Amino acid sequence: MVGFKAAFLNEAVKLTKKKKLLVAAILSTLAVMIGQLAVTTIKHGLGLRVVGSVEFPIVVLQFFSYTILPLFATFVAIDMFNGESAMNTMKLTLLRPVSRFGVFSAKVLNLALFIAGILLFVMIISMLAGFIFNPSTASLSGVFKVFASYVLTFFPVFVFALIVVVLANVIQGGLAVFFLSILVFIAFNFLGIVFSAYSSFFVTSMFDWYFLWTSESINLFKIMRQVLILASCGMMLFTTGFYLFDRKDI
Amino acid sequence: MSVKAIEISGLTKSFKNGRGISELNLSVDQGDVFGFLGPNGAGKTTAMKMITGLMKPDRGDVKIFGVSVIEDYVNAMKHVGCLIETAESYPYLTANENLKLFARFYPEVDQRRIDECLEITGMLKYKNEKTQKFSLGMKQRMGIAAAILSRPKLLILDEPLNGLDVEGMLEMRKLIKRLSQEGTTFFISSHLIHDVELTCTRIGIVYGGRLVNVEYTDNILSYYSSLENYFVSEVDRNGRV
């Protein structure tokens, strides 16, 4: 446990000391600001109300969950595995009294925290922007919907990040993993549209699954199916990733 | 009979290019300063990587203070400090921050010990500098500071003198002597045969992936004028022209 705790804290320190976190925060803020600017311009220019205060964070989430979030999750996952291997710093952790499972779990947990942290950050600033520019449309149920949507987005994005982790442990080069991850992302989106009956198996099509939970009529069977698919994909990808990481010669 | 510091049995690893390590059997007693010698590509680093768990062997086992590296890695590595292949550090962190990361794995290591290690290796004045700007020698000193941080009972050092200036080499030699007098066991590989002769109490020679001989330095020097002559003779005897 001492080893896991140390590895977890060290991964967190490494993550915060790198510029990726700052860049992700700046880009997220910019995306929210540009979105709010567009909404305000349309409202004042054309007299149309595009979104209310609690709808704005959902619009931001729709854009954010398909662009900046998976992109930065991919960057961080590649950095944690391929980046450390390329810089020869992976051994610095592995030579300490900690199991490979401890190191792998610490990395994956930090990746999860990164995704959750960025989502929380975007949720807060988009809600603030929504409340500042459209205070009249605020409601408690709307806030709850926003919160639920952001929390639910975490799961499919995390499972996608686990796909990147698996790729990072199969392929040595970080650049190759990055392009392959983008290809997988595009292919999953495309296949999700073409084979819509099987879209639940392409995890990227679940990035907006919060609509299932927050819509007027809730389809419990479909939600249950999606939850089980996500959970099983997550477990399989985590196990595969660890198996590959454990077998790796440094 | 005391527990061996390192006990290697039947360690085998083969690569696609045909090189590797074959049936390595070796034991290092507690308190030994063991020199692991061999020409380039003989398999020294591969053996060291398997001893420290960075590489998985095809066959065989390594026990450190009686604990198998393969079966119980965490306990096997509890009292081990390592410097394998190259001295690395996180370039975006300062020397102090780097050592702080490593210190988290050892509850007994505090800031005072970190400063002490930086002092021992002559790096205290660069404590707050990022390591990306360090020279090869400075990185090597950092690697040594990281290896001795937890006051390990066993130090596994792969080319510890790499990149060090003359002063650094003398200091390193003194440090090995001092720590070995305090009871630390060493397992060292080095190309600098003169330094090995001056510091190591036992020598093992690996050639072509096989351990060809293990002998005490005193015995070697009673038959040969220098360790270099012994090394050349052993390598020649085992097929090198």
Residue B39 banded pLDDT, cuts 50, 70, 90 = confident
Alpha carbon distance, N-terminus to C-terminus of chain A: 23
Q: What is the mean pLDDT of residues B98-121?
A: 94
Residue B3 banded pLDDT, cuts 50, 70, 90 = confident
Residue B44 pLDDT more than 60? Answer: yes
Cα–Cα distances in angstroms (integers) from residue B89 to residues A84, A89, A92, A169, B115, in the given order: 11, 6, 7, 22, 17
- Judged by DSSP in three states, A61 sits in helix
B52 contact residues in A (CB cutoff 8 A): 95
- What single-letter amino acid sits at B136? L
Tens digits of residue pLDDT in B119-139: 999 899 999 999 999 988 899
Cα–Cα distances in angstroms (integers) from residue B205 to residues B132, B208, B210, in the given order: 35, 10, 8
Tens digits of residue pLDDT in A119-157: 999 999 998 888 887 776 667 888 899 999 999 999 999
Cβ–Cβ under 8 Å, residues B34 and B157: no
Q: Kindly list the strands in the beta sheet with B185-189, ordered across the sheet, starting from the edge strand earlier in the chain.
A: B80-83, B154-158, B185-189, B33-37, B202-207, B210-216
The predicted structure's pLDDT at residue A52: 65
- What single-letter amino acid sits at B153? K
- Closest-CA distance, B176 to chain A, in angstroms, reads 20
The answer to whether residue B14 neighbours chain A at the CB level (below 8 Å) is no
Q: What is the mean pLDDT of residues A108-121?
A: 95
The predicted structure's pLDDT at residue B241: 43
In percent, how much of chain A has pLDDT > 90? 58
Per DSSP bridges, beta strands B185-189 and B33-37 are parallel
- What single-letter amino acid sits at B141? R
Residue A14 is nearest to which of B55, B85, B90, comparing CB atoms?
Answer: B90
Longest dimension (CA), chain B: 52
Q: What is the mean pLDDT of residues B35-45?
A: 89
Q: How far apart are CA A116 and CA A105, in angstroms?
A: 16
Name which of A15-24, A101-110, A180-189 the model is least confident about. A15-24
Instruction: Quickly count helices (H) and strands (E) in chain B.
Output: 9, 10
Q: Which B positions 44-83 lie with beta carbon below 8 A of chain A?
A: 49, 52-56, 73-75, 77-78, 80, 82
CB within 8 Å of B34: residues ≥ 6 apart: B6, B28, B185, B186, B187, B188, B200, B201, B202, B203, B204
In the predicted model, what is the mean pLDDT of chain B?
A: 91
Instruction: Give the residue ranges of DSSP H helices in B69-149.
Output: 73-76, 95-103, 111-120, 136-148
The predicted structure's pLDDT at residue B240: 54
Tens digits of residue pLDDT in B45-77: 999 999 999 999 999 999 999 999 999 999 999
In percent, how much of chain B has pLDDT > 90? 65
Q: How far apart are CA A109 and CA A8, in angstroms?
A: 8
The predicted structure's pLDDT at residue A51: 67
Inter-chain CB proximity B88 and A250 less than 8 Å = no
The predicted structure's pLDDT at residue A49: 65
Residue A88 is nearest to which of B86, B97, B104, comparing CB atoms?
Answer: B86
Q: How far apart are CA B161 and CA B171, in angstroms?
A: 10
In the predicted model, what is the mean pLDDT of chain A?
A: 90
Q: How far apart are CA A121 and CA A26, in angstroms?
A: 11
In percent, how much of chain B has pLDDT > 70? 98
Q: What is the mean pLDDT of residues B4-13?
A: 94
Q: Which two tokens stand for residue B220?
A: 């070697």
Cα–Cα distances in angstroms (integers) from residue B26 to residues B6, B8, B23, B47, in the given order: 8, 5, 10, 11
Tens digits of residue pLDDT in A179-201: 999 999 999 999 988 988 888 88
Domains of chain B: 1-79+153-241 (3.40.50.300), 88-152 (no CATH)
User: DSSP of A164-215, one letter per residue?
Assistant: HHHHHHH-S-HHHHHHHHHHHHHHHHHHHHHTGGGGGGSGGGGTTTHHHHHS
The predicted structure's pLDDT at residue A48: 67
Q: What is the mean pLDDT of residues A19-43?
A: 83
